[in-house]
Amino acid sequence: MIERIYDPAVVNGAHPIQFAVTFDPVEGMYTATGDFHMMVSAETRAELEAAVDDALAFLWNEYVVSEKSLSEDAVLLRDRLVEVFGRA
C-alpha cells in the first residue's frame, strides 16, 4: 500500500491500491501496472517502488493540487484520487 503521496504531507489511502508486478528476464525489467491506469518500469524492485511513488505524486500534484482547468476525463481521475486518498 502506498502511504506517502508527496512531501511533506503524508496521505493514507482509504483502502489499499494494487499493482500487478511482472519481471521480464530478457529485458531485465520489472513492470508494475495497476490503479489509475498506471504502468511503470524499473531495473530493481526498490527502483520500481520509488517509480510508483513518483508516479502517484505526479498524478496527485497534477490533478488534485494544481489549479489548472481539467478535461472531463481528468476530473474523473482527480475525483478517483481524492476518493482513495482524501484531500491533503
What are 1-36's pLDDT values in tens digits? 444 444 445 566 777 888 999 999 999 999 999 999
Strand partners, 1: none
Q: What is the pLDDT of residues 63-87, one digit of tens each?
A: 998 878 999 999 999 999 999 988 7
Whole-prediction pTM: 0.79
Closest CA relative to residue 59, chosen from 22, 11, 21: 11
Q: Which helix (H) or strand (E) holds 81?
A: helix 72-85
**Strands (DSSP E) along 25-69, which ranges?**
29-34, 38-42
Measured N-to-C along each axis, helices 72-85 and 45-60 cross at an angle, to the nearest 10 degrees, of: 120
> What's the CA gap between 35 and 19, in Å, rounded?
7
